Amino acid sequence: MNTKKPIYVRPLDLKQGRVEMAHGAGGRAMAQLIDELFATAFDNPFLAQGNDGALLPPANGRLVLSCDAHVVSPLFFAGGDIGCLSVHGTLNDVAVMGAQPLYLAASFILEEGFPLADLKRIVESMAHAAREAGVPIVTGDTKVVERGKGDGVFITTTGVGVAREGITLSGDLARPGDKVLLSGTIGDHGMAIMSQREGLAFDAPIVSDTAALHGLVAAMLDCGADLHVLRDPTRGGLATTLNEIAQQSRAGISLTEAAIPVNPVVAAACEFLGLDPLYVANEGKLIAICAERDAERLLSVMHAHPLGGRAAIIGEVVEDAHGFVQMTTRLGGRRVVDWLTGEQLPRIC
Amino acid sequence: MKYVDEFRDGDLAKNIARKISLEANTNHTYRLMEFCGGHTHAISRYGIADLLPANVRMIHGPGCPVCVLPIGRVDQAIRLATEQGVILCTYADTMRVPASNDLTLMRARADGADVRMIYSTQDALKIARMNPEREVVFFAIGFETTTPPTAVAIRQAAAEGLKNFSILCNHVLTPAAMHAILNVAGGVKLDGFVGPAHVSTVIGSQPYEVFAGDYHKPVVIAGFEPLDVMQSILMLVRQINDGRAAVENEFTRAVTREGNRKAQALVGEVFELRETFEWRGLGTVPDSALRLRQKYTAFDAEQRFGVKYIPVSDNKACECGAILRGEKRPWECRIFGTVCTPQTPVGSCMVSSEGACAAHYTYGRFREEIQ
């Protein structure tokens, strides 16, 4: 798309070069960075308008808007990087509103001295994730902070989508009797990050589950099940998200520990680090709460989708004025599954 | 997961639970204290109380290092960091323990003190080596399990001639605390102890023999997995039924009668008994803690910086003391779950996940709230 005659004497050195303060100063250096890196990778007609914002066609339906900041450390991890994560994170927030995501905006805070080669890798990963999801990145912004004032790169993305006609999903709609479904194993993203940070090696590597969920959501909506709540359990993990839903809906949730899928290697890593997988972050999983009569049908639809192969019914919504999430343990006892206290894993997404 | 799942098997647990119900005499209430916070945590996390008959009652003991640390000790650490400007290295749990003036180490850090969370004493040594111009103090806390690593660090520092490293020593002794509990005025009604797991790997089972002999209290040393705890409860019920009081070892895969001789020798070389030490909940207990031996006093932060221990009484509403002595249960404290929660702990038992109050709040509070 970049058909303009280049006005720069030398192209960006994407192999050895580093981010400089000028790259965020609004002048020619910034224009070059945008042209040669961002616009080239994200390449779409809306971005090519080259204006301060993207002019978009009218949308047909209720709009959903969501934004998400990404500060993950390390920037590159098994199964992904901050680039694709920043696309998936926001797409999923839009998708679990029962919406089809349409456009993304991206804002970068770069640290002076950050290698352009790493930035290129991240931007290309974003572009790939966006293309795969069929959702273009139509506008953006770049700022540079002095060395030591950032940590490489922070990315904030905003997503716009259109909610499916006649569908309203909300955390306050869980009703006693509803079933709680989970789309797959928990804790993969958090433990992929953590094991990399701690330098832990296992027989099988732990790979982040970062993925765009709107395809799975669309299939779930298509089947016509009476869905009440969809959520993606990211920071704080399954436990925290279920507590949010219980509080919003003023109901209890009763879980069966044995039904919750956990990869053995993730379970082992959690054991080793003294963590509970229920509280470890996910980036490609969703929780669905639906009417009891539709639960089995919804489960089979999830099973048929590549991102729902290990989906399971993990519990149900119960009457409980206290809004407790409780769990029958593998041992046969019961316990509260409480909100996360403090911070289990900082800088996870 | 091998060697873990076997000890969390639901069917086996039910089997042991059935035996406990069958064998526990319905005319007797079995009051069993699990000394260690690790056991308290396992009991709450796996819902073990649900598998026990009503007349087998678990009483949470004081075996949580953070919980027994009195306010004055945390004050000392904060003073070191704020007034002496040292780099204070600490295990994570200690960061949130409430101290005087509404401070915690975490708040002190937010106010500008250099407080660093570490995972091992080796991290503290590394920080000392990397910052030769700064004083580095390790806030050494814990029972016999965490003492040997501190001893290693002291020996390494001495061997390397590391002049900027010292420790604020708060290492305490399990048997002394058990004596104190059994000697509480009025007496805590106890039928037996679930004995420590990791502590016993170091000290062995022999130090508990006095409790079986002199106090006639059965002790069963148990691992931290739920089936270990269940099995030890069954073994205690059997001893009590038989009128026996012996030290039995359920945790034979890790604990011997003698314990870890190497670790004991190391600790003995570096530390000696303190005549007295104040515990939260138990008060001043003679011969219950350790200090550095004469040849290592250069590494004693209390001496190096002249920070004196100033006793501070607990918050009046807080029942941590009675809970640590096994006299009260967490929910019998007026401020449990209202003013005092894991987010806003008033007493130390609400801080660590091994603390009786935090474990009950996090995993078990539905029980009395639903009643």
Q: What are B253-268's pLDDT values in tens digits?
A: 999 999 999 999 999 9
Q: What is the pLDDT of residue B368?
A: 58
Same domain, A271 and A225: yes
What count of CB pairs under 8 Å joins A to B? 66
**Is A335–B343 a contact, with Cβ atoms under 8 angstroms apart?**
no
| Residue B33: count of CB within 10 angstroms of its CB | 27
CB-nearest to A336 from B8, B17, B362 is B362
The dihedrals phi and psi of B35, each to the nearest 5 degrees, come to -70, -40
User: Looking at chain B from residue 76 to 105, which residues have their Cβ under 8 Å from any Cβ of chain A?
Assistant: 96
* Residue A326 shares a structural domain with residue A188: yes
Residue at a domain's end among A116, A137, A163: A163
Q: Is the pLDDT of residue A279 over 70?
A: yes
Chain B residues close to A206, C-beta within 8 Å: none
pLDDT at A345: 62
With CB atoms and an 8 Å threshold, state whether B361 touches A338: yes
A304-310 CB contacts, 8 Å cutoff, 24+ apart = A304/A219, A305/A215, A305/A216, A305/A219, A307/A183, A307/A184, A307/A211, A307/A213, A307/A215, A307/A216, A308/A183, A308/A184, A308/A216, A309/A184, A310/A183, A310/A184, A310/A185, A310/A261
| CA A10/CA B336 separation, integer angstroms | 68
CB-CB contact of B77 with B105 (8 Å): yes
φ, ψ of residue B106 in degrees (nearest 5): -65, -45
The residue type found at A197 is R
Q: Is A329 on the interface with B (CB under 8 A)?
A: yes
Tell me: pLDDT of B344 over 90: no
Is residue A103 located within the same domain as residue A146?
yes
Please work out, in degrees rounded to the nearest 5, the angle formed at the alpha carbon of residue A132 by the alpha carbons of A131 and A134: 60
Shared-domain flag, residues A189 and A330 = yes
Contact B362 A338 (CB under 8 A): yes
pLDDT tens per residue, range A66-80: 999 999 999 999 999
Average pLDDT over residues A30-42: 94
CATH number at residue B107: 3.40.50.11740
Residue B336 DSSP label: B
Taking the CA atoms of residue B82, residue B87, residue B89 and residue B90 in that order, the dihedral angle to the nearest 10 degrees is 10
pLDDT of A145: 97
Q: Quick one: DSSP state of residue B331?
A: G
Q: Is residue B366 one of the residues assigned to a domain?
A: no
Reported confidence tier of residue A191, pLDDT bands at 50, 70, 90 = very high
Nearest-CB residue to A333 (from B4, B49, B362)? B49
What residues of A are in contact with residue B363 (Cβ under 8 Å)? 335-336, 338
The angle formed by the CA atoms of residues B314, B120 and A276, to the nearest 5 degrees, is 75
Percentage of chain B with pLDDT > 70?
98
* Tens digit of each residue's pLDDT (9 = 90 or more) over B274-300: 999 999 888 899 999 999 999 999 999
Residue B3: is its pLDDT beyond 50? Answer: yes
Question: Domain range spanning residue B267?
Answer: 71-173+259-305
Distance from CA of B264 to the nearest CA of A (A): 26
Residue B359: what pLDDT? 87
Domain-embedded: residue B8 = no
How many domains, chain A? 2
Give the H or E element holding residue A40.
Answer: helix A40-42
Q: Assess contact for B147 and B171: CB atoms under 8 A.
A: yes
Asked whether residue B157 carries a pLDDT value surpassing 50, the answer given is: yes
Q: In the listed set A131, A163, A195, which residue is the last one of a domain according to the structure?
A: A163
Choice among A271-285, B195-209, B253-267, B318-332 with the minimum mean pLDDT: B318-332
* Digit-coded pLDDT (tens) for B219-246: 999 999 999 999 999 999 999 999 999 9
* C-alpha A294, offset from chain centre: 27
Distance (Å) of CA B285 to CA A209, B77, B180, B185? 52, 21, 7, 13
Q: Name the residue of chain B whose CA is nearest to A342's CA.
A: B343
Whether chain B has a CB inside 8 Å of the CB on A321: the answer is: no
Q: Which of A36-40, B61-65, B359-363 has the highest mean pLDDT?
A: A36-40
**pLDDT surpasses 60 at A2:** no
pLDDT for the residue numbered B371: 38
Residue B49 lies in a domain: no
- A215 in the same domain as A130: no
- A14 in any annotated domain: no
Distance from CA of A346 to the nearest CA of B (A): 13
Examine the domain organization and report whether A113 and A200 are in the same domain: no
Give the Cα separation of B331 and B303 in Å (integer). Answer: 41
Report which listed range, A13-27, A306-320, B106-120, B326-340, is most confident. A306-320
pLDDT value, residue B370: 41
Kindly give, in sequence order, each residue whose CB lies less than 8 Å from that of residue B5, ignoring residues fewer than 6 positions away: none
| Residue from the list A267, A335, A341 with its beta carbon closest to the beta carbon of B45 | A335
- Asked whether the beta carbons of residue B363 and residue A335 sit closer than 8 angstroms, the reply is yes
CB environment A110-139: b (16+ within 10 A), e (fewer): bbbebebebbbbbbbbbbebbbebebbbbb
- Alpha helices (runs of H) in B138-295, residue ranges in sequence order: 147-160, 174-182, 198-203, 209-213, 226-242, 261-270
- The reply to whether B77 falls in a domain is yes
What is the pLDDT at residue A321?
A: 86
The sign of the dihedral angle between the CA atoms of A300, A304, A305, A309 is positive
Whether residue A74 is preceded by a cis peptide bond, meaning omega within 30 degrees of 0, is yes
Tally of structural domains, chain B: 1
Q: Which of A96, A130, A163 is the last residue of a domain?
A: A163
The arithmetic mean of pLDDT across residues A118-144, rounded, is: 97
Residue A10, domain member (yes or no)? no
Residue in A with minimal Cα distance to B5: A330
Q: What is the pLDDT of residue B363?
A: 86
The chain A residue lying nearest B41, using CA atoms, is A335
What distance in Å separates the CA atoms of residue B207 and residue B188, rounded to the nearest whole number? 21
In a shared domain, residues A253 and A124: no
Domain that holds residue A122: 21-163
Phi, psi of B340 (to 5 degrees): -105, 110
What is the rounded CA–CA span in Å between residue A246 and residue A320?
9
What pairing do the DSSP bridges indicate for beta strands B271-279 and A99-111? unpaired
The pLDDT value given to residue B300: 98
Q: What is the CATH number of the domain that holds A131?
A: 3.30.1330.10
Nearest CA in chain A to B362: A338
- The confidence score (pLDDT) of residue A87 equals 98
- Within a domain: residue B205? no
